Amino acid sequence: MKVAVLKETRAGERRVALVPQGVKALLKAGLEVTIQTGAGLASSVSDPEYKEAGATIAASAPEALRDAGMVLAVHAPPPADVAAMSEGTILVSFLSPLTNPDLVRALAASKITGIAMEMIPRITRAQSMDALSSQATVAGYKAVLIAADHLPKFLPMFTTAAGTIRPAKALILGAGVAGLQAIATARRLGAVVLAFDVRPAVKEQVESLGASFLEADEEVAAEGEGGYAKELSEDQHKKELDLIAGAIVDCDIVITTAQIPGRDAPLLITEDMVRSMRPGSVIIDLASESGGNCALTQSGETVVEHGVHILGPVNLPAGIPVHASQMYSKNIVTLVGEFVGEEGQVELDMENDVVGPSTVTHEGQVTNERVRNALST
């Protein structure tokens, strides 16, 4: 089977779905690999490097797609490329199936099998395929670097002839993969770090990284399926906001990472909280694309309100494309190994505990129950 890897077309996207090491792995599995010319350039991978790994280079997306039985991408290709895919083609990429119903319907109508990287289940066996987690690691790291760049202060403590400068204080809201990486990075840069999450089980992980865990007198807990946070009750949410409001006053940096799959991001920082912060403080809202955790966030923009810089960055993993692509490529190659046999034959088993949940469309049907429910609302 021919596998096509297309050049990403989304604005600002610098990642590529497959790096040369991934090409070698797929060839070893009995597949052929065609790369659209220039697909890896923004990730510092040249066409000759792909050729050396054994891939064929195609001059355009239509040429790469010709006779392809599988397409690998970071984001779903544009409609024209989807329309050019043959019936039965397997598309593996981030598909945003819970918020992009038009794409889901188009894939089903074209009888394309859509496998969504964001639907990989949170089970131990699937950790090496979990692209959401691998890319969240990049986002958490990058968020701290951006915050440090905007903060008009040092992060670490300095002892100088001019006196001692106290370290900056960072508050991380949400201790999932992105939050934990933000904690680790902020600590490496010398900041004092405080973290909060509605899942008490993460307290030990937070403290193991050298941060303090923000706790309420009354427990605010909401752990959902697969280790994700779930939506709080109205009373729990009020207690959560009170807790954050008490801590945010003394913080120089706030990084928010709280998201609920398929839902708007929860509001964690009100305008009154922003008003209470010191001028020059920085908020990095990693949930900006799903509505934002801060009431004043504008997705993709940097705004200054009440003297506080509020950033709503989008697609942060694209800002570190080399390692983000290497991690994503490993995720996608491992996933492909779940449904490709030793001689390159495809065996899509919907009873497979990874392939089944991550498959959104197959043989003209929307096969994922959560996605079907989202389409009907």
**Residues recognised as catalytic:** 122, 127, 130, 133, 228
The DSSP secondary structure of 298-356, one letter per residue, reads -TT-EEEETTEEEE----GGGGSHHHHHHHHHHHHHHHHTTTB-TTS-B---TTSTTHH
Q: How far apart are CA 137 and CA 129, in angstroms?
A: 14
- Check residue 243 and give left, alpha or beta (phi > 0: left; psi -120 to 50: alpha): alpha
* Contacts of range 210-216, beta carbons closer than 8 Å, 24 or more positions apart: 210/183, 211/172, 211/183, 211/187, 214/171, 214/243, 214/244, 214/247, 216/240, 216/242, 216/243
Which residues, in sequence order, are CB contacts of 235 under 8 Å at separation 6+? none
Amino acid at 293: N
Return the beta strands (E) in the chain as ranges.
Answer: 2-5, 32-36, 56-58, 70-75, 90-94, 113-116, 158-160, 163-165, 169-173, 192-196, 212-213, 253-256, 282-285, 302-305, 308-311, 359-362, 365-366
Phi, psi dihedrals of residue 188, rounded to the nearest 5°? -60, -35
- The 3-state DSSP composition of the chain as helix, strand, coil percent (nearest 5) reads 40, 20, 40
Helix 321-336 with 20-28: angle, nearest 10 deg: 10
Q: How far apart are CA 255 and CA 283, in angstroms?
A: 6
